[in-house]
Chain A
């Protein structure tokens, strides 16, 4: 140990915003460097590289979003959960700093933009490759949703809702579960529940499938003999744009739920939560009407 005690000027900010930004940057880096997140991204790169290699995209547009939702969304759930609970071991240290747990939770929620961005990059890749090598049905005259003559808004809304929003929602849920159920094994229970909630209503007739944790907004019809997509259509009775709004409101609710674990800012959080709840209900009703 050296005995250097020379003073370093310290400028403490008057409010917590700069600290929140700095903390969010650190948490984002931790998320981006987490082995499980990197593994998910690496696995996802395989079909992407294969698509470029073969100069064609899968006629089934759901596969790409499924990859995003599972490899980034579900893996991201675990990563976010682990990052959130990682400071449990240093509880006495972190609780005696001026940045309280609510700010740390918010920083973790902001770090969830990392998987969302990764999901967005993949979605953009899907769009670009589909624009270059248009997916076709079998036979070629069969309608394949997303990349034909459907409304661009609907295509984008569906792609974003099933891809990047799933990549955002999974990790946000991970933070929420970690805050409310910080015991060992809650990540596993959370993942199983998430997959269960995805699988159970996804086969329901529309519009109830919108209640799934990962609503499938495209109906696929696959040739039972050789597997390729015969045709695909948007789910009838569901408006993709409003479905996207509904899912974004749910993401916001997950953030509010995570922040409500701590006593600070109760009123504005509850007001925001109620507004988001109203928004979610409204979007859902409009989406299925």
Chain B
């Protein structure tokens, strides 16, 4: 059963169209959202998080219509959201900040609320720094404070805009564990530039570019699209869309390979580069014709 349904979703900022007729249906599980900067990922997540209203199209979230006040409140009661960037009010400790958000999420019974706040703070590994002021925490710790508030009450819909930004590899690994467990019962949408996180976590991937859906399918399907288009060579090949020198001293190429190329297994990043690169090339050709 779908928990999120978007039909012809459109959103513009002045004359700039951020989303153009996006159709999407999400079910419980983890969906990765990829796309270049300005593709409309954050706008889409803000619409899903009820922070932003769509200009056109229809949105249905957790069976509710977020255009009505009652629908919005109902969605927000079952929502966890990590925005791309957020500040913190001055003077709050990590515990107090999560507790404040817990009150805003209508956790009114004090003992239950504090128990839940302690649980989510422990979940993100911040128990030791919970009494410290947020302003004294590192960027990664602050990110985890925001993540902790999103996990309050086991939300049915978890929306994460670049949750791994600023986290070290060990923290990212632990975050994957937490999100993987959350994805067993909830609908989790992760927007990120880290394709390895998507490959490691998501059963489904959606690629946005220019406010449109370029790809919607499984990670395996997306990687499969790049099969035969990634090769290694001793020298840089100018025909490749993307090429870079690897640690072994050889060059990894993504694009249309020459006949004698040494084809290798593609990764999700390769598939993403090809998808976005091909789309940009098609747009250029359309413009030229």
Q: What does the 1/0 interface line of B172-207 toward A look like (CB < 8 Å)?
A: 001101100110000000000000000000000000
| A49: Cβ under 8 A from any B Cβ | no
Is the beta-carbon distance between B116 and A8 smaller than 8 angstroms? Answer: yes
Is the beta-carbon distance between B154 and A7 smaller than 8 angstroms? Answer: yes
Is the beta-carbon distance between B108 and A264 smaller than 8 angstroms? Answer: no
B210 / chain A contacts, CB cutoff of 8 Å = none
Among candidates A1, A33, A264, residue contacting B123 with C-beta atoms closer than 8 Å: A1
Is the beta-carbon distance between A98 and B87 smaller than 8 angstroms? Answer: no
Is the beta-carbon distance between A96 and B51 smaller than 8 angstroms? Answer: yes
Q: What does the 1/0 interface line of A103-116 toward B look like (CB < 8 Å)?
A: 01000000000000
| A46: Cβ under 8 A from any B Cβ | no
Additional 15 contacts, C-beta under 8 A, given A89-B88, A90-B87, A99-B103: A1-B178, A3-B174, A10-B107, A11-B112, A12-B77, A22-B103, A22-B108, A26-B99, A92-B83, A96-B51, A97-B76, A98-B104, A98-B105, A99-B104, A100-B73
B171 / chain A contacts, CB cutoff of 8 Å = 1
Listed in ascending order, the chain A residues whose CB lies under 8 Å from chain B are 1-13, 16, 18-19, 21-23, 26, 30, 33, 86-87, 89-90, 92-100, 104, 264
Is the beta-carbon distance between A94 and B106 smaller than 8 angstroms? Answer: no
Is the beta-carbon distance between B109 and A19 smaller than 8 angstroms? Answer: no
Among candidates B69, B79, B106, B153, residue contacting A99 with C-beta atoms closer than 8 Å: B106
| B144: Cβ under 8 A from any A Cβ | yes
Chain B residue nearest in CB terms to A10: B153
Q: How far is the CA of A22 from the CA of B86 in the complex (A)?
A: 24
20 contacts between A and B (CB under 8 A): A1-B177, A2-B123, A3-B178, A6-B119, A10-B107, A10-B116, A12-B106, A16-B106, A18-B108, A26-B103, A89-B87, A90-B89, A92-B46, A93-B83, A93-B146, A96-B51, A97-B105, A99-B104, A99-B106, A104-B104
| B149: Cβ under 8 A from any A Cβ | yes
Interface size on B, residues (CB 8 A): 48
Q: How far is the CA of A85 from the CA of B144 in the complex (A)?
A: 24
Q: How far is the CA of A147 from the CA of B68 in the complex (A)?
A: 58
Q: How far is the CA of A99 from the CA of B79 in the complex (A)?
A: 13
| B260: Cβ under 8 A from any A Cβ | no
- Given the known A-B contacts A13-B108, A16-B106, are A93 and B122 also in contact in the complex, defined by CB atoms under 8 Å? no
Is the beta-carbon distance between B149 and A93 smaller than 8 angstroms? Answer: yes
Among candidates B51, B86, B99, residue contacting A89 with C-beta atoms closer than 8 Å: B86
Q: How far is the CA of A286 from the CA of B255 in the complex (A)?
A: 85
A23 / chain B contacts, CB cutoff of 8 Å = 103-104
- Given the known A-B contacts A92-B46, A96-B79, are A4 and B122 also in contact in the complex, defined by CB atoms under 8 Å? yes
Is the beta-carbon distance between A98 and B112 smaller than 8 angstroms? Answer: no
